Amino acid sequence: MAGGGGAGSTRGAGRGARARGAAGRGGRAGGARAGAGAGAGAGAGAGAGGGAKGALLGLVGAEGLRRGLGASEAQAAAIEAAARACEALNPTPRPLESPELLSGRWRLVYTTSDSILGRSRPFFLRPRGPIYQTIDAANLKLKNQEGWPTRTAVLADLEPSSPSEVAVQFRTFLLGGLLPVPAPARARGALDTTFLDAELRIGRGDKGNLFVLVQDDPAGRP
């Protein structure tokens, strides 16, 4: 989900000086500005964007959708349109300046990423348990975690490239959730948060994939 959202989406580019400058302004922003951003994002998300958000959540909750694996072309098109409607009403356009709102354990409910859905895997190795992305925006850390049957995870560092986008450098794969394996340097990605409130997060990866996640535990950290 970061850089695509999962361990499989590992390509993207670093950003250089602009990213380092944004890191100071964004990922580590705190204090009064962070608190105000979180409060405004939660309030606005429940207001003007509520109808669009409800429509999107209704679509991604359809029976048999399986996070997108079972989506028809018509369903995928409707979800894309609903996501864009939410993005047009995004209450938190600078999410890295609201680290408490962005942080936590988020559960993936829909994606267009074939690697995360496991389309190329044998059916018995496709993820059937929950898929989580846990973010610590203040410290620029991320963890993607896949449930049963593989129970794999990956840890990553984040580098802001704008107030809404981060470059993702995956550092360590956890096989079975326990056995650490260093990630290769090419294991990179990027993720732009295009909608954020206290309940819903929408992201776009560097390969154009869509990610829809719901907040599962605001106190969760990698």
pLDDT of residue 118: 85
Residue pointed to by tokens 């992305």: 133
pLDDT of residue 49: 63
CA angle 40, 87, 97 (to 5 degrees): 40
pLDDT of residue 85: 98
Q: Tell me the DSSP string of 151-218.
A: --EEEEEEEESSSSEEEEEEEEEEETTTEEEEPPTT-EEEEEEEEE-SSEEEEEETTS-EEEEEEEET
Helices 50-60 and 73-87: crossing angle in degrees, nearest 10, is 160
* Average pLDDT of adjacent 10-residue blocks, the chain of 222 residues: 45 37 39 38 50 97 96 98 98 98 98 92 88 98 94 97 98 94 96 98 97 98 97
pLDDT of residue 1: 62
Q: What is the pTM of this model?
A: 0.78
